[in-house]
Amino acid sequence: MKRSSIKKYKPFQPINLKDRQWPNRQLTKAPIWCSVDLRDGNQALPVPMNIAQKVELFKQLVAIGFKEIEVGFPSASDTEFNFLRKLVDDELIPDDVTVQVLVQAREPLIRRTFESLSGVKKAIVHLYNSTSALQRRITFNNASKEDIKQIAVNGTKLIKSLLNEVPDTEITFQYSPESFSDTEEDYAVAVCEAVMDNWGPTPDHKMILNLPSTVEWNLPNTYADQVEWFCRTIKNRDSVIVCLHTHNDRGTGTAATELGLLAGADRVEGTLFGNGERTGNLDLTTVALNLNSHGIQTGLDFSNIEEVKRVYEKTTGMNVHQRHPYAGELVFTAFSGSHQDAIKKGMDLRSDADVKWAVPYLTIDPVDIGRSYEAIIRINSQSGKGGVAYILKREFDYDLPKKMHPEVGLYINGLADQYGRELSFQEIQSEFQKEFVNRKDIINLKRYHIKKMTEEEVHSIVTLSYKGEDMELEGKGNGPINSVVYAMKQQGWKDFDLEQYRSHSIGNSSASISISYIQISLKSDPTIKYWGCGEHTSIRRSGVNALISAYNRAQILMNK
């Protein structure tokens, strides 16, 4: 922004709430949830959903567990009206689900809304009008506070008078002083109390007072102060459900809601993945899973978040961002080497007996929301040694010795840097095998046979080609590998010492494969070391293959 442009703006003034309580509170239970995907989320779309799409998304919201769902603005269009009628006529509204309808405080719209409710068992009628000073001055042409309050009162009276038109519908009344966060606090309370006086809520038959941050002008802590002041000031607090409806203009819609709940609110409205006008609504998915991550049951089921995302993207035409909390493709993925190493160590230490989740960089277990471990670590040029080893272990059962991790990681990361992109798991496996497994560059081992074996000595016969020349060698040693080392020494090829050896098997059947890892160091400089890997159905042969691979790698790399 240009320096001269700053003069257009002024800081939003906090309210004077010196004895605020919310900073010392802790969230211990979930709020009442209301999805407004079918209204706020719909009117935010370049191409609004048709009825079939709305029905599919409604069914998904029910499956997630929402008990209050705003189905739209029935007086706004035939599509909105007919959608609610289809839900009723096709008996798609479960008995334990309350549908919510939104309406401005205008008589024709209110009457049309009640026409749409015929046959609905339980409904919330949500009345709103703008109350902020900015709206009063610009939208309502300098209307007085009394004029604006009277609009809310008149709408309330009309709704109450129409209740007998839907005698079989259990109606809950909701009122929103739209732009609450930009409305003088005492005036917002005055309007809401005037509405309450005309509706007459009781502790047994509560009404909802919704406090929208219609435009997010201020810091989330200021919104929390406004909510706490409202909750402490409004009369007959036990007769109202205080609800939050935040937007995300400043990118703090989730924070404002969480702080607003600490401040005393009972209910929240929002959308899946935060879809809504301008920069969006409250993201219900994020808030619910944030609560889950603190061990709080929410009543909402996101255990298959991939399916929720699929339906959402199909019906709305929107895409969930790759970095979206919990649902984004990359949110459980680490490319950084230090992150990968910490995640690998955390995952390796977990056991079936572990009750509490504690893995570095992962706030929840991805499996709990239907995500797999497949995406946790992915490899590019920024990745570390632990990440490559983790993928080779998890995807292909290569359990590399820890001291082998740096050499393999450096090689694979170098390829990613060379290619200038992420490497797929299959590429990582292929490149690992090409570089480290069963190498045949200098020595091509064709046959390995134990001629004689006692407790003290193994006598081996090795058929191979050396730089293209076929030959057969014999060697003796205290084991299969040592006997081959002896045979290589007899040919003058042993310019190395054995440093490390490890083996394991892949698979539990008779067709399992033995994997061996060997590290050698050069006699000329013991600090220079090379790893090789061998695979074979025979553990003895896999060890010999690993030795030959390490030798071949050393010869090739030394001569580069």
Q: Within this chain, do residues 448 and 395 fall inside the same structural domain, yes or no?
A: no
Q: Within this chain, do residues 428 and 524 fall inside the same structural domain, yes or no?
A: no
Give the pLDDT of residue 14: 82
Percent of the chain with pLDDT over 70: 96
Q: Within this chain, do residues 303 and 211 fall inside the same structural domain, yes or no?
A: yes
Give the pLDDT of residue 385: 62
In a domain? residue 495? yes
146: domain CATH number is: 3.20.20.70
In a domain? residue 409? yes
Give the pLDDT of residue 382: 60
In a domain? residue 218? yes
For residue 45, give every residue at least 6 positions away whose Cβ sits within 8 Å of its Cβ, in sequence order, or none.
275, 316, 317, 318
At 193, the pLDDT band (50, 70, 90 cuts) reads very high
Q: Given a cut of 70, is residue 167 above it in pLDDT?
A: yes
Mean pLDDT of all residues in 74-80: 92
Q: Looking at 435, 461, 477, which one is the last position of a domain?
A: 435
Q: Looking at 259, 283, 316, which one is the last position of a domain?
A: 316
For residue 389, give every residue at least 6 positions away whose Cβ sits within 8 Å of its Cβ, in sequence order, or none.
344, 400, 404, 405, 408, 409
Write the pLDDT tens digit of every residue in 13-52: 888 888 999 999 999 999 999 999 999 988 889 899 999 9
Q: Given a cut of 70, is residue 509 above it in pLDDT?
A: no
Q: Within this chain, do residues 260 and 366 fall inside the same structural domain, yes or no?
A: no
What token pair was written down for 266?
A: 């009972």
Give the pLDDT of residue 227: 98
Q: Within this chain, do residues 182 and 300 fall inside the same structural domain, yes or no?
A: yes
Flag the least confident range among 198-212, 457-471, 506-520, 546-560.
506-520
Q: Within this chain, do residues 418 and 466 fall inside the same structural domain, yes or no?
A: no
Write the pLDDT tens digit of every residue in 226-254: 999 999 999 999 999 999 999 999 999 99
CA atoms within 13 A on the CB side of 500: 17
What token pair was written down for 325?
A: 């909390």
In a domain? residue 332? no
Q: Given a cut of 70, is residue 307 above it in pLDDT?
A: yes
C-alpha to C-alpha distance for 292 and 301, rounded to whole angstroms: 10
547: domain CATH number is: 3.30.160.270
What token pair was written down for 193?
A: 């109390």
Q: Within this chain, do residues 100 and 212 fall inside the same structural domain, yes or no?
A: yes
Q: Within this chain, do residues 147 and 199 fall inside the same structural domain, yes or no?
A: yes
Write the pLDDT tens digit of every residue in 208-226: 999 999 999 899 999 999 9
In a domain? residue 126? yes
Give the pLDDT of residue 383: 60
Q: Within this chain, do residues 201 and 224 fall inside the same structural domain, yes or no?
A: yes
Q: Within this chain, do residues 125 and 209 fall inside the same structural domain, yes or no?
A: yes
Give the pLDDT of residue 373: 58
Which structural domain range is residue 545 located in?
Answer: 443-558
Q: Within this chain, do residues 406 and 283 fall inside the same structural domain, yes or no?
A: no
Give the pLDDT of residue 531: 97
Q: Within this chain, do residues 305 and 394 fall inside the same structural domain, yes or no?
A: no
Give the pLDDT of residue 364: 92
In a domain? residue 448? yes
For residue 185, give every residue at least 6 positions away whose Cβ sits within 8 Å of its Cβ, in sequence order, or none.
15, 226, 229, 230, 233
Write the pLDDT tens digit of every residue in 336-380: 667 777 877 888 888 767 778 888 888 899 889 998 755 565 555
How many structural domains does the chain have? 3
Write the pLDDT tens digit of every residue in 414-472: 888 888 888 888 999 999 999 999 999 999 999 988 888 777 788 989 899 999 999 99
Q: What is the mean pLDDT of the chain?
A: 92
Give the pLDDT of residue 332: 81
Mean pLDDT of all residues in 490-508: 89
Mean pLDDT of all residues in 165-179: 96
Please state whether the predicted TM-score (pTM) of the whole model is above 0.75: yes
Query: Is 157:198 a contact under the CB 8 Å cutoff?
Result: yes
In a domain? residue 9? no
Give the pLDDT of residue 75: 94
Q: Looking at 435, 453, 487, which one is the last position of a domain?
A: 435
Give the pLDDT of residue 411: 92
Max CA separation in the chain (angstroms):
106
Give the pLDDT of residue 375: 59
In a domain? residue 24? no
Give the pLDDT of residue 348: 80
* DSSP line for 163-219: GGGSTTSEEEEEEEEETGGGS-HHHHHHHHHHHHHHH---SSS-EEEEEEESS--S-
Give the number of residues written for the chain.
560
Q: Which residues of 168-196 are buried (b: 16+ CB within 10 A; e: fewer)?
A: ebebbbbbbbbbbbbbebebbbbbbbbbb
